[in-house]
Amino acid sequence: MAKQLDQNDVLLEVKNLKKHFISRHGLMGQHTTTVQAVDGVSFKILRGETLGLVGESGCGKSTTGRTIIRLYDVTSGEIIFDGVDISRIKQREMRQYRKKIQMIFQDPYASLNSRMTVGDIIGEPIDIHNIAKGEERQKIIWNLLERVGLNKEHANRYPHEFSGGQRQRIGIARALAVSPKFIICDEPISALDVSIQAQVVNMLQDLQNELGLTYLFIAHDLSMVKHISDRIGVMYLGKLVELANADELYDSPNHPYTQALLSAIPVPDPDATKQGQRIVLEGDVPSPINPPSGCHFRTRCRYAMDICKEVEPEFLEISPNHFSACHLNTIEK
Ligand SMILES: Nc1ncnc2c1ncn2[C@@H]1O[C@H](COP(=O)(O)OP(=O)(O)OP(=O)(O)O)[C@@H](O)[C@H]1O
């Protein structure tokens, strides 16, 4: 059943966001290399919505998420959260937003301190933000454990005593400890067994419904995000190339890159009529240090034309709420 979302209630708006990493080298640090990890990305997320973000490894998904939560400084562009531009506020001011915006990571083991008990891991943000002390703090921790399908006995154990799926639940409980509004889920299920992935996704959906959460859900393949996302954005080499409602993106992909990604998803039923030709993308993704001129995708695009080399395609609304950046949409047919 489609969610009822207020189209005017925007929780997050990212406008022309750029994050370039600059490294210095040479004896005196006189040479610089610039990695254009995120290079002009714009999107909105409505309150209560899940926006999926997909694309091959290295296209800038994690950097987008990490820049939104200001783990990285913004190179340029705006991040409007709940009406406030947080792109340039100082880290001290950012503290109050860290309560509202949380992030969960792909590898829960690496993000959980192995020397702390689960109770203390979940309690840490409660202490940092001065949310509760003593018995009240303990109760919050127990409630959070139950909310993510664990129980209060687990509070005294250590991360290594848990399975991957359980550790991800602990990471989610820790994120929920500060009652956030928005959670950036950075490939939270990619490292889990397929049988466990659905459980974690279902839990995230239940939590969203109960707590009114909004998600940015990052994944590298499209099959994973379809189930959880209301809308999906597709990234390629630092740019958003397509953005549409999840169903529409699957049924009528516009961008040649999205078409290729979709054609690579195995169809469970071999007789399924939707099984089209697999589009094989030639070559590797070019380096974000020196991306191709014009359309970044042109070097791997089977429709590449002269204009693609010279002009960067605009991210146009090709039908209501369906955006795509491809010259094929503007040339005369
Ligand atoms: N701290 C950093 N310093 C320099 N370059 C970086 C840094 N973090 C990421 N990059 C580069 O920026 C580009 C985008 O990386 P990013 O991790 O955002 O991609 P991704 O789409 O999330 O990939 P993955 O699915 O593998 O996590 C890559 O070329 C990466 O090597």
pLDDT per residue rounded down to tens, the chain (333 residues): 567 888 889 999 999 999 999 988 877 777 889 999 999 999 999 999 999 999 999 999 999 999 999 999 999 999 999 999 999 999 888 988 999 999 999 887 788 899 999 999 999 999 999 999 999 999 999 999 999 999 999 999 999 999 999 999 999 999 999 999 999 999 998 888 888 999 999 999 999 999 999 999 999 878 878 889 999 999 999 999 999 999 999 999 999 999 999 988 876 655 554 556 788 888 888 999 999 999 999 999 999 999 999 999 999 999 999 999 999 999 865
Sign (positive or negative) of CA dihedral 207, 233, 57, 227: positive
CA of 121 to the centre of ligand 1 (A): 27
pLDDT of residue 333: 57
pTM, 2 dp:
0.93
Q: At what angle do helices 118-128 and 134-147 cross, to 10 degrees?
A: 120
**In contact, 232 and 52? CB cutoff 8 Å:** yes
CA of 58 to the centre of ligand 1 (A): 5
pLDDT of residue 275: 54
With the most atoms of ligand 1 within 8 angstroms of its CB, the residue from 61, 186, 257, 285 to mutate is 61
- What tokens does 133 get? 């002390």
Q: How far apart are the first and last CA of the chain?
A: 37
Regarding the beta carbon of 58 and ligand 1, being less than 6 Å apart is answered yes
pLDDT of residue 273: 47
pLDDT of residue 274: 54
Burial class from Cβ neighbours inside 10 Å (0-12, 13-18, 19+) for residue 107 reads middle
CA of 239 to the centre of ligand 1 (A): 13
pLDDT of residue 224: 76
- Is ipTM over 0.95? yes
Instruction: Compute how many other C-beta atoms are within 10 angstroms of the C-beta atom of residue 81.
Output: 23
Regarding the beta carbon of 19 and ligand 1, being less than 6 Å apart is answered no
Phi and psi at 316, nearest 5°, equal: -105, 150
Ordered structural domains, the chain, with CATH: 10-252 (3.40.50.300)
What number does the ligand 1 atom closest to the CA of 238 have?
Answer: 14
Residue nearest to atom 31 of ligand 1 (CA): 58
